[in-house]
A = this chain, B = another copy of it.
Amino acid sequence: MLTDRQLDILYLIIKIYTETDAPVGSKTLMNEGIQASSATIRNDMGVLEELGFIEKTHSSSGRIPSVKGYRFYVDHLLKPTDVASQDRLEIRRAFAREFHAINDIVETAASILSDLTSYTAFSLGPEVKERKLTGFRLIPLNHQQVMTIIVTDKGNVESQVFSIPQDMSSEDLEKVVKIINDKLVGQPLITVYNKLRTEIPLVLQRYFHTPSSVMHFFDSVMAQAFEDRIFVSGKMNILDYDSLTDMSEFKSIYSLMDDEEAITSLIIPSHGDISIRIGEELENDLLENMSLMTASYEVNGHGKGTIALLGPTNMSYARMFGLLDVFRYEVADQLSDYYRSLESPH
């Protein structure tokens, strides 16, 4: 078991390394408040290194925290810092505008978070799959084009403009609308998604002799609505906080950020309210030197959303923890208000 002084030393190494980004030596620790001589501190550091909590960058360097060290820190030592009142203010102010869509709120969350931290922020709204399809419209715009509008019960709207396929008559279109209204409107999106692969093709075969073109139309119309849109803000900040060996490395990371699929699966597997994954724990070579903090929030009755923060392994977990905690509530509140305003007509 670690002694109190050893815990202090580990804590302090992490704190100082976060601030200075340079290996921490025994003398520095002495000056920063450890009540012992540098030799004693060195002995303790030896122990901590033996246990794998800290490591050297070269044989005679100071120590930096290892992943295991950070893990121990976030699990046992971390005390969230109070959020600076200036930060609080900025958050309030950024949310103090009128929103016209859920995704506006979700996007704003990512944007404030990355501004506040200078890291990269992600924001994923309450889950889509639980929603119901409440409306489907086809608006003819001119000879060739129609606009499709899909509305879900939580106020999400997706629209798309189509050129009408050559082999599709306007009667066919009307049939499509009818089929969608009969079979799909009112269903949860997940059901819609399933029927689209099973039942609907059968129905189409009965009504059309070119079901594939109709099916294709169907598919693109619905595809959008199923996507959990994830918002990323502060991609460029990677340049500041990641010590890149290589421009191609940056490019890879950058394009990873553009891959909604990848990001979503990176962020989703979080446990509890706020989860932290450090360096290798992210199981992605590109993110070796980064950590990901994920916070989830519940919008009462409307599903679970997620915000996340990607930064260097030596980020200030304490401050970030505090911030994310504020966001958890703030975003949930904002969304909650928005949903309420949708439900109660004024």
Contacts and interface: CB of A to CB of B under 8 A. Distances in A.
Interface of A: 98-101, 134-135, 137, 139, 141-145, 147, 149, 151, 155, 157, 159-163, 166, 236, 239-240, 247, 250-251, 254-255, 341-342, 345-346
Could you tell me the dominant secondary structure of chain A's interface residues?
Answer: mixed
Contact of A346 (B159, B166, B251, B346): B166
A161 B341 contact: no
A341 B147 contact: no
A163 B100 contact: yes
A151 B159 contact: no
Nearest to A346: B166
A151 B155 contact: no
Contacts of A99: 163
Nearest to A341: B144
Nearest to A254: B236
A156 B98 CA distance: 28
A157 B162 CA distance: 10
Contact of A345 (B144, B147, B255): B144
Contact of A135 (B134, B141, B144, B251): B141
25 contacts: A98-B163, A99-B163, A100-B145, A100-B160, A134-B142, A135-B141, A135-B142, A137-B139, A139-B139, A139-B149, A141-B157, A142-B155, A143-B345, A144-B155, A144-B342, A144-B345, A145-B342, A147-B149, A147-B157, A147-B159, A163-B341, A236-B255, A239-B247, A239-B250, A239-B251
Given A239-B247, A240-B247, A145 B161 contact: no
Contacts of A149: 139, 141, 147
Given A139-B149, A147-B149, A239-B247, 16 more contacts: A98-B163, A99-B163, A100-B145, A100-B160, A100-B163, A135-B141, A135-B142, A137-B139, A139-B139, A142-B342, A143-B345, A144-B342, A145-B157, A157-B161, A166-B346, A236-B255
